[in-house]
Structure 1
Amino acid sequence: MTATARREFGAGPLSRVAALVYTLLVVEVLLLLCAAPGLLALLALERHVSNLPLVAVCAVPLGPALSAAVYALHHQRLDLTELHPARLFRRGYRVNLRGALLVWVPLLLWLTVIAVNLVNLPVAGVPGWWAVPLVLVGAGAAVVGTNALVITSLFAFRPRDVARLAGYFVLRTPVVAAGTAGLLVAAALLTLVASEAALAALGSVLVLALVRGAEPMITAIRTEFTS
C-alpha cells in the first residue's frame, strides 16, 4: 500500500470517528491506571466533611494523569495509520510530572482550605453571606488552576510564568474561562448526583472537551509567547 493510499485510508470521516473512539478509550484506561491509587482510596472514604483533607491527598495522583491526558489528546492526530495515544500519554506523563505537581498540589491545598472554611462557617459564627466570596474565590482558583494545568502540559514555561499566563488568559480569553468553568460545574454536579466513579468513567471525554475549549488560549500562547 502506498503512502498516499495509507493517508486516504486513515483520513475519511468513519476512520476519524474510529480513531477518536480508540484514542479516548486508550487515554481513559491510562488515566484511570495512573490515578488508581488515589481513586481507590477515595471510593473507600466516607462522604463526610472531616475527610476533606484526605480527599485532597487522594486526588494528588490525578494531577499528573490529567496532564498526560491533555498532552496526548492535544497531540494525537485522528489518522488510523498514525495512532499512538499510549505513547503520547506516557511521554506526557514523564515530561510533565514535575510541572503538573507544582500546579496541582497548591491548587488542591487552596481549594481544601476554602472548602473547610465553607463547611465550618456556622461553627465559627461567621455570617452566612461570607460563603459567597469564598465560593467565588474557589471558583476563580479552580479556573486559573485548570488553565495552568493545560499550559504546563503543553509548554515548557517556568512555574511562575505558567501561573501568570493562566491568570492573564482568564481575562484575555473569557470564552475559554467560561467553558472551563462550565466543565468544572458539570463535573461537580455529576459527582454529587452520581458518584466519583461516574466522573472517572468520563475522564477522557471531559479532558477532550477541556482541550478543545482551550484551543484559543493554546493558539495565542504558541503564537505570542513561543519562538
Structure 2
Amino acid sequence: MSTAARRDFGAGPLSRGAALVYSLLVVELLLLLCAAPGLVALFALERHASNLPLVAGCAVPFGPALSAALYALHHQRLDLTDLRPGRLFWRGYRANLAGSLLVWVPMLLWLAVIAVNLVNLPAAGVPRWWPVPLVLVGAGLSVVGVNALVITSLFTFRLRDVLRLAGYFVLRTPVVALGTALLLGAATLLTLVASEAAPAALASVLALALVRGGAPMIAVIREEFVR
C-alpha cells in the first residue's frame, strides 16, 4: 500500500471514530490496571462517613493513572495506521508520576478534611449556612486541582508555576472551569447514585472530556507560556 493510500485509509470519519473507540478502550484498561490497588481497597470499604480518610487514600493511585490517560489522549493521533495509545499511556505515566502525585495528594487531603467536616456538622452545632462555604471551597479546590493535573500532565513546569497557572486559568478561561465543574459534579452524582465502579468504568471518557474541554486553556499555555 502506498503512502498516499495509507494516509487516505486512516483519514475518514469512520476510521477516526474506530481509532477513538480503540484508544479509549486501551487507555481505560491501562488506567484501571494502574489504579487497581486503590480501587480494590475502595470497593472493600463500607459506605460510612468514618471511612472518608481511607477513601482518600484509596484514590491516590488514580491520580497518576488519570494523568497518563490525559497525556495519551492528548497526543494520540486518530489514525488507524498510527495507533499507539498504550505506548503513549506508559510514557505519560513515567514522565508525570511525581508531578501528578504532588498535585493529586494535597488535593485529596484537603477534600477529605472538608468532607469529614461536612458529615460532622450536626454534631458541631454550627449555623445551618456553614455547609455552603465548605462546599464552595471544595468545588473551587477541585476545579483548580484538576486544572493543575491537566497542566502538569501536558507541560513541564515547576509545581508552584503549575498551581499559579491552574488558579489563573479559572478566571482566564471560565468556560473551561465551568466545564470541569460540571464533569466533576456529574462524576460525584454518578458515584452517589450508583457506585464507585461507575465513574471508574468511564474514566477514559472523563479524561477525553477534560482534554477536549480544556483545549482553550491548553492552547493559551502553549502560545504564551511555552518557549
TM range (shorter): over 0.9
- Name the residue aligned to 1:123: 123
Q: 1:18-33, aligned counterparts within 5 Å? A: 18-33=18-33
Secondary structure of 1:26 counterpart: helix
Query: Which whole-Å CA distance do the structure 1 matches of 2:28 and 2:38 have between them?
Result: 16
In structure 1, the residue matched to 2:78 is: 78
What is residue 223 of structure 1 aligned with on the other side? 223
Counterpart mapping for 1:102-117 below 5 A: 102-117=102-117
Give the counterpart letter for 2:118 in structure 1: L
SS in structure 2 at match of 1:81: coil
1:61 corresponding residue in structure 2: 61
So what's the TM-score if we normalise by structure 1?
0.99
Instruction: Spell out, residue by residue over 1:18-59, the C-alpha distance to the aligned partner (whole angstroms, 9 max, x if none).
Output: 000000000000000000000010001000000000000000
Q: Which residue of 2 aligns with 1:94?
A: 94
Consecutive aligned runs of 4 or more in structure 1 exceeding 4 Å deviation:
none
Task: Count the aligned residue pairs.
Answer: 227
In the other structure, the counterpart of 2:204 is: 204
In structure 1, what is the equivalent of residue 148 of structure 2? 148
Query: What does residue 47 of structure 2 align with?
Result: 47
Following TM superposition, by how much is the alpha carbon of 1:122 offset from its aligned partner in structure 2, in angstroms?
A: 1.2
With the length of structure 2 as denominator, give the TM-score of the two structures. 0.99
- Secondary structure, aligned partner of 1:128: coil
- How far is 1:82 from its partner? 0.6
Moved more, 197-206 or 178-187: 197-206
CA distance in 1 between counterparts of 2:39 and 2:7 reads 40
Give me the whole-angstrom Cα distance separating, in 2, the residues matched to 1:126 and 1:176.
34
Gaps of 5+ in 1: none
Letter in 1 for 2:142: A
CA shift for structure 1 position 190: 0.6
Name the % identity.
Answer: 80
Distance 2:85 2:70 in 1: 11
Q: Unaligned stretches of 5+ in structure 2?
A: none
Q: Deviations over 1:145-167 (max 9, x none)?
A: 00000000000000000000000
Q: What is the DSSP-based 3-state SS (H/G/I as helix, E as strand, rest coil) of the residue aligned with 2:197?
A: helix
